[in-house]
Amino acid sequence: MILINLLRKNDKGGRKVELLDTIAGVIFLGAAFLFFTIINYRILFMKIRKDERIPSPTPFFGGIAGALLVYCLFRSQYPLLILLPLLIDPGSIPLIIYFFVCLIKE
């Protein structure tokens, strides 16, 4: 953040700042997507092995962070690509099912 603030003060064009903000956002959202998705897969495998109910503290965060990452990278070039991280993260699959059930009911 200090580097970004220094470049904002020194950069007149704003291109370097925009690039650094994009890189920082991609790293942050990508790390959040991987971290929360790994947590959800670990909990899923623990449920399968031990046959007990273990609640996930972060059910939707991985998929939502991944969807935001895909949106930031591709904007509106590939709109359906946003669903890919939601399908990869096992914690987001109930969210997708609930969304489609609500969509069908209306």
Q: Residue 77 pLDDT more than 70? A: yes
Give pLDDT tens digits for 9-47. Answer: 555 555 666 777 778 888 898 999 999 999 888 888 888
Give pLDDT tens digits for 53-62. Answer: 767 777 888 8
Number of domains comprising the chain: 1
- Residue numbers of the domain that contains 81: 2-105
User: What's the rounded Cα separation, in Å, for the pair 90 and 95?
Assistant: 10
> What's this model's pTM, rounded to 2 decimal places?
0.71
User: What's the rounded Cα separation, in Å, for the pair 39 and 29?
Assistant: 15
